[in-house]
Structure 1
């Protein structure tokens, strides 16, 4: 292992010496409510911020966890707070705004939680009589528009999104909340993920689900590029032209899988149907029973993990191929009736993964581990990122992620998937967010650029900073210290300017 930040050396042993529970010192500071900062404020620069970085680092995440006497019981439930780090000529300013979702507005007006979220059930209005409160439990659950997960782009416009059928269009400069967008008004899906993919022509791909008498389906969605944008009202949201290019029937119709993302290459889309199941009967009854949505999900390892392969150009569906750590699977793409049974179809000597045809149009795969024991001390991986602009859908060598030593991320990792070499940035008491890669203007190598990550420091007040790492060496270039408190967030994107 190379290039580990110097103070990391004793951090693991010191944590192990802590009494039980002390390893999470001041962890509540990561999920506290904060005030928005709509007007940009200057930051204090330590080190050097490269002058070629010109744009806005946009991040999203929960930022308000109470209304009146009511508090959310799950981190995911906090009201969406949008953050903007504007970087220009080596200087950085910071601003933030709460998303003015219907959920936020209704909760604010009533000064209590009136819209149920992922892990929190909204209680009936105490001002109603007992009969009105009882029958309110039998109403169809209203999906939240608290889009607190990610910034995404469709047809050149920015939106914030979560995992319901609602998104909100936003201004990426002022962070002003625009109109609410309902996916079901454009296409027959009940939800969409917060993690779409983009091709080189500007089209956006996502996944949503639908269900009815014919079963439960996972749908692959395509939204056309900006140049195909229909004549819509000036400055309004536009998802016209969105289409379902393929529908995949759930292997267990009454227990479809929960999913958060999917994989896209230059020619294929891969959806992994895994044993995290949604019980549809519980889904229909969870509000009546006074339970939150996350109670609908169960881990059921008796079900197989299934890889579904789809040609993203034609929508042709190929039959299924039968602690977060990096693994490599190799999917053979030329399986037909002449392919021999029970023979390893992975012919490259560089890979240890295997794939064998076991039935007509069905392949059983085993994985290759892309890590050794050195990675295990940093826990599992989360928030993986690559040089997306140049290598999405193509071969890549490096990925960047957060290492989770306990509950929240406490390190930043860079892994070489060819050599399995690991580089680490880590300091005790600092909690990094998702690493985002930004290429240098004249980059000729895959890792020529910087990594941006927001670092939370719960031991001190107002000590959050934007970290800039050299992506190649994984050494620190500079910090932009923010004079206001920022809670731990989820995902973000870099919006290059000029």
Structure 2
């Protein structure tokens, strides 16, 4: 049994929901600082890189974890290191560059941590007098512009993003920051997720909270595809809809992303909660923002549907038991239902696991950290869209054949849902699935058959997985001791089937020096086509994107 203590002191115990691990290998080398490679270097090709692949695999993630004698506390704190694998005519080059954020530049200039990050509070500057150092304790933590999570696009431009109100427009050719962009200069939000969604016409959707005298709101953001000028960044952005927290108004839910179907944005309000007062007083207490995020299993998870055309919130809220969710797979509407596919776990304490002290443990201590975690698995919720007075209560409204999900009307405004698994028992052997990806351009907001992800028999992804929803058949790529990153699907130019293309993944090795490579898999068969070996060390990263080029 595992037990959870809430902030009110209540203790809740539940059966363990993880795969026990014994003898995990050390991954300390994967969260170690590295140098940037400012000029493209050649790679050694093993096998074959298909000649039709032409473009840049852009990756983002932390690459520097200390300045001077001061060390960051959390994996998310490391300075953003941008990577580019240039693929052309069967050859691959590699380069990288630290994002010249204001945070990075201030830290470099003083050779100490000057800007607070997610899990690390910057200590008062010793160069200030005692009185000024004392006063600085009462300042709010300023949001960082260390955009270390992903590469995203708005209006055809590439940005690197995190979860604050700052992004950086980046030149994909050089990885140089072109412009620092502040969301709050365009709309009233204090941040935005690192995972926007795109409609076929180029319209972008995102989410961001706002904090002010009128309260705390979850905001749905819409960015038009048209450019007003060459200098245009987020001009024309608007808040489509604002939603107040359902429970404690001062403790909104944390969310890393959201889902989108053809007609709806789907916000998942989960019981991973943020204590805003603790965030405001973080400098005074010396505790990072991560200390203000907690899991409350006594609260349900709520799905809010927002119409993209009108900005109106659907009159029905869909409830399910407490779960945590960081990444969605896909969402689509069919036969009066909205299918919501996501990766979810039955507890929400994963964020606290990823402090650097944990990730650098070894032996039994590392096993113990892993065994505290709950696995994330792919699941589907089936949400009935048409709820009226005539809709019968207290019976399953999900009439889809072969679906085990349920949806029970409790009132005209409330439906309680349970999920169906999008996997068979064999996924247990891989520790669940996260970092899900699909053939986005073809299948986003539409019915689909395949998705891809990483298996997690370790704290980091240690295998690549492909799920065929017809029969829930699982295919895997796994080599002991190697840690592949999030899979990126690239369709072939003459694609007919949904899985005609390749999977790209950066694979790192914590036990061998300079043993990183870009892996290319046939997406249909999941057989290795080739790899491009890079003669340097690369830390394990977060997210990225493929930029097609001529």
TM-score normalised by structure 1 residue count: 0.93
3-state SS of paired residue (1:24) = coil
Which residue of 1 is the match for residue 58 of structure 2? 58
SS state of the match for residue 104, structure 2? helix
Measured after TM superposition, the shift of residue 229 of structure 1 is: 1.3
1:312, distance to aligned residue in structure 2 (A): 1.4
Residue 369 of structure 1 deviates from its aligned partner by 1.5
Q: Which region of structure 1 is more displaced relative to structure 2, 105-114 or 414-423?
A: 414-423
Q: Residue 305 of structure 2 is aligned with which of 304, 309, 314?
A: 309
Name the residue aligned to 1:296.
Answer: 292
Larger CA deviation: 338-347 vs 167-176: 338-347
Q: Is the 8 A contact 1:336 1:361 kept in 2?
A: no
Contact in 1 for aligned 2:74/2:118 (Cα 8 Å)? yes
1:44 is matched with: 44
1:168 match: secondary structure: strand
Please name the residue that 1:411 is paired with.
Answer: 463
Q: Deviation at 1:263?
A: 0.4
The separation in 2 between residues aligned to 1:107 and 1:450, in whole angstroms, is 39
- Say if 1:204 and 1:223, in contact at 8 Å, map to a contact too: yes
Q: 2:263 aligned to 267, 282, 304, which one?
A: 267
Match of 1:353 in 2: 405
Which stretch has the larger CA shift, 54-63 or 372-381? Answer: 372-381
Number of the residue aligned with 1:24: 25
Mapped partners of 1:112, 1:16: distance in 2: 37
Provide the residue aligned with 1:456 in structure 2: 508
Is 1:258 matched up with 2:254? yes
Give structure 1 regions of 4+ aligned residues with deviation exceeding 3 angstroms.
15-18
Q: CA deviation at 1:140?
A: 2.3
Q: In 2, Cα distance between the equivalents of 1:133 and 1:311? A: 49
The 8 Å contact of residues 87 and 93 in structure 2, kept in 1 or not, is answered as yes
Contact 2:49 2:530 in 1 (8 A): yes
Kept after mapping to 1: 8 A contact 2:138/2:284: yes
Aligned pairs (5 A) from 1:373-384: 373-384=425-436
Gaps of 5+ in 1: 1-14
Gaps of 5+ in 2: 1-19, 320-374
CA offset at residue 16 of structure 1? Answer: 6.4
2:227 equivalent in structure 1: 229
Distance 1:200 1:368, change over 3 A: same
Residue in 1 aligned with 2:355? none
Contact 1:179 1:237 in 2 (8 A): no
CA RMSD of aligned residues (A): 1.2
Distance 1:490 1:71 in 2: 20
Q: In the TM superposition, what is the alpha-carbon distance from 1:17 to its structure 2 partner?
A: 6.7
- Indicate conservation of the 8 Å contact 1:157/1:237, yes or no: no
| Distance in 1 of aligned mates of 2:530 and 2:196 | 31
CA contact (8 A) 2:140 2:281 kept: no
Q: Which SS does the other structure have where 2:285 is aligned? A: coil
Q: Does 1:100 align with 2:100?
A: yes
